[in-house]
Structure 1
Amino acid sequence: MSGEGDSAKNSTRVWRRIPTGIWALGFVSLMMDISSEMIHSLLPVYLVVGLGSTALTVGIIEGIAEATASITKIFSGALSDRLGRRKELAALGYGLAAFTKPVFPLAPTVGWLIGARFIDRVGKGIRGAPRDALIADISPPELRGASFGLRQSLDTVGAFTGPLLAIALMALFADNFRAVFWVAVIPAFISFGLILFAVREPEKHEGPHKVRNPLSRRELSRLGSAYWWVVAVAAVFTLARFSEAFLVLRAQASGLPLMLVPAVLVIMNIAYALSAYPVGVLSDRMDRVTLLIAGLGLLVAADLMLAFETGLTGITVGTVLWGLHMGFTQGLLATLVADATPIELRGTAFGMFSLVTGLALLAASVIAGALWSGIGPKWTFLAGAGFSLLAAVGLILIRRRKTARPSIPEA
């Protein structure tokens, strides 16, 4: 019993030591995710049922949307390094996403929805790398894993609150997709207000090396082998982690009523939110790569469950495992990027990381959609399991090269 009490006290102490700026950025992400997930939890089914699209079309739309965000991140991240400022670019990205949200209920065709998703993801791309670099700038090195884990947990609370609201509003509005999309506009603008008025940037961050062209070959070479190993493994890992839209389609194909389809993302994100912060705290005390390997094991188990189980119980278990693997991996990958890069190149590092993984997600979503439409859902998830095992091999190589815990740059 005393061991459990000491663990609880340690968790409380870590919680209290996390800077207020991390909390503020977490609530900014929370509100935007509520808005986005209210829309995204319904959008795949709306495209297929409401507008007559195919699963391949869903895969292409999701892949293009996320790849657009990732490509934009490299430029916004580099610009934040060049300017030595993060907040203004993050605020621009959140504002663009907020002002795009009304397009979703107004869109009359698939083309309009593709355009809305594209612009919305441009906003995500503009804010993503500067925000992550800002978290790394604000958080103390000894609390970096906990800080990224907390931000990830708060972000994910929004990710399951959004689908819950979508379920309730679908019942209230008698399956009226557009009415739910209109309600989703409100938290997006709350998020925009929070980033403007509740987040403060620390003093201009300049390392010992002045960065003039962050994307030059000379600057990129300074990121080092530890960073590029993390990027390479993350790219293979992303091929296994295709869009969660296919979890939604898997549940719907298994007989889940239309009104309850968003519950899939609710279940996944509850598991994600409950695990991300504790794993982040744990990663500040033990080997991070070991935790990532455990996360890949969870993804393999999730893929196998979703491939072979067709009942709702099996789909639910697979969805929980999928959420747990997200909690074990997403914050840790961001922490490893922050660990491996100098302060003056953090924006560029997060942007390049997002570019590579975004292109991998585009490929993964298109492959998943093609496998789903061509030979069936089972092979979509079996392919994901195969890529997971390949990524695990890469992580084992990283650990052998003793780059699992690269030395932390001085902040």
Structure 2
Amino acid sequence: MYLATTGRRADAPPRPEGVGRRVPGTVVALGAVSLVTDVSSEMVTAVLPLYLVLGLGLSPLQFGFFDGLFNGATALVRLLGGRLADRGGGRHRTVAGAGYLLSALSRLGLLLAGGAAGGIAAAMAADRLGKGVRTAPRDAMITLSARPEDLGRAFGVHRAMDTTGALLGPLVAFVVLWATADAYDAVFVVSFATGLLGVVVMGLFVPADPGAPGRTPTALARPTPPAAPARAAKPARTVPRVLADPAFRRVVAAASLLGAATIGDSFLYLLLQRGLDLPAALFPLLPLGSAACYLVLAVPAGRLADRSGRRVPFLLGHSALLAAYLTLLAPAGPAVAVLVLVLLGVFYAATDGVLMALAAPALPVRGRASGLAVLQTGQALARLVGAAGFGAAWTWWGPRPALVAAALALAAALAAAWRILPGGKVR
């Protein structure tokens, strides 16, 4: 059993004819929104672990539970976001835009919290709620705008633009902290203004219905024949019906299993900071290495996945993450830090967009956002377990034994995922 993007579902839009293999304009517009939004979000992400652990004195256990809880709990909102986007003929842009706006407003919450744990928790919850609401509709718009056989490339381009923002965000945070003598409030203000810009770009340049003929470059095809009334009235699939597809169910299971063995980027950066004894002001620069590698490899990884099948790149990406864990066990030094950051970038380039391209062909057009939300929710909930578990292991056993346990867990998950994912040329 395998997923084939070269085949077409009965309810899929007509394949474009007479157009080149260029990236659709909707994908580029969504990439621009993600770029601007990631500058905003990564400014905060880059300084938040330092702010909470070193500034407010949270233990690794508390931080792991804090981060994992919000990632996991708000992942359930992805199901709501996907469902709302699929209802009423598709409201993908409206739902995604609401999520982007909520995340932007959360920066004001961090600014007004003033170091209070309750205010910070509420702001983090708003940010994760926004991300949960927007992710599935946004990815569904990408799959509805690009040809099935080009999904890997489309996601690669989007993720490359997204990662450009992730690359710039920590750099902007570093500059702001340096210019304001470590004033975190200034970071939150700049992040808020940048997030609002992303919402404006979304409203101006992303079409309301990316799958409609004549609205995107992929719609330069022959007119679509009228759909049968019964077919047009068919509602989006519910979660149980989506999971009834055996191929999709196996993708969800494999992604969730691997997610449970992922300890989270923040812990990797904290381990590097401790090992290298980096000054606090340099901490926001650590994500730059992995983001730069991700940026360079995102499009080539997507194109490779389109040509050779998406199962193997996805698994090889997690093998790179395993190699990063093992590298962290070596004596600390600049070479170790560079290798860890490169391996983390390879991991994201080979897994993030590739997973969406792997799963999308098994989903119906009118249930695409709901199905991707199920996949993303399962993965995020699993990562809650991974983050909280690693934080507990670090607190009880110390960082090195915890890292050994994480590496063993990921190796076991990789072996299981190799058997779970559909075999053959999974595209």
Q: TM-score, normalised by structure 1?
A: 0.90
Instruction: List per-residue Cα deviations over 1:202-247 (Å, max 9, x = no partner).
Output: 3569894744363263x3355x111111111111111232221112
Runs of 4 or more above 6 Å deviation: none
Asked if 1:286 corresponds to 2:294, the answer is no
Structure 1 residues 135, 248: closer, same or farther in 2, change over 3 A? same
Does the CA-based 8 Å contact 2:309-2:425 persist in structure 1?
Answer: no
The correspondence of residues 176-325 of structure 1 with structure 2, limited to 5 A, is 176-200=183-207, 201-203=209-211, 208=231, 210-212=233-235, 214-215=237-238, 217=240, 219-222=241-244, 224-254=245-275, 255-325=277-347
Equivalent position of 2:149 in the other structure: 142
> Is 1:382 equivalent to 2:404 in the alignment?
yes
2:62 pairs, out of 57, 64, 73, with: 57
Mapped to 1, the partners of 2:364 and 2:413 lie a distance apart of 25
Q: Measure, in 2, the Cα distance between the counterparts of 1:385 and 1:52.
A: 27
- Cα deviation, residue 310, structure 1: 2.4
Report what 1:35 is aligned to: 40
**Does the 8 A contact of 2:239 with 2:371 survive in 1?**
no
1:365 Cα offset (Å): 0.8
1:300-324 deviations in whole A, cap 9, x for unaligned? 1101011333234312311211111
Structure 1 residue 325 displacement after superposition: 1.1
% of aligned pairs identical?
32
Contact 2:258 2:417 in 1 (8 A): no
Q: Which deviations, in whole Å up to 9, do the C-alpha atoms of 1:131-180 show, x marking residues without a partner?
A: 11111001111211100111111111111110011111111111122212
- After superposition, where does 1:75-94 map in structure 2 within 5 Å? 75-85=80-90, 86-94=92-100
Return the alpha-carbon distance in structure 1 between the equivalents of residues 165 and 243 of structure 2. Answer: 37
- Superposed counterparts of 1:161-180, under 5 Å: 161-180=168-187
Cα gap change, 1:358/1:216 in structure 2, threshold over 3 Å: closer, same or farther? closer
Q: What TM-score comes out, normalization by structure 2 length?
A: 0.86
**Kept after mapping to 1: 8 A contact 2:257/2:417:** no
* Alpha carbons of structure 1 residues 92 and 15: separation in structure 2 relative to 1, 3 Å: farther
Alignment partner of 1:332 out of 326, 344, 354: 354
Distance 2:337 2:393 in 1: 19
Structure 2, unaligned runs of 5 or more: 1-18, 214-226
Deviations 1:32-67 (A, max 9, x none): 111011011100110122112111121112112212
Of 24, 29, 43, the residue aligned with 1:24 is: 29
- Describe the SS at the equivalent of 2:85: helix
* 1:261 alignment partner, SS class: helix
Aligned positions, number: 390
For 2:53, the equivalent position in structure 1 comes to 48
- Deviation (angstroms), 1:398: 4.5
2:106 is equivalent to residue 100 of structure 1: yes
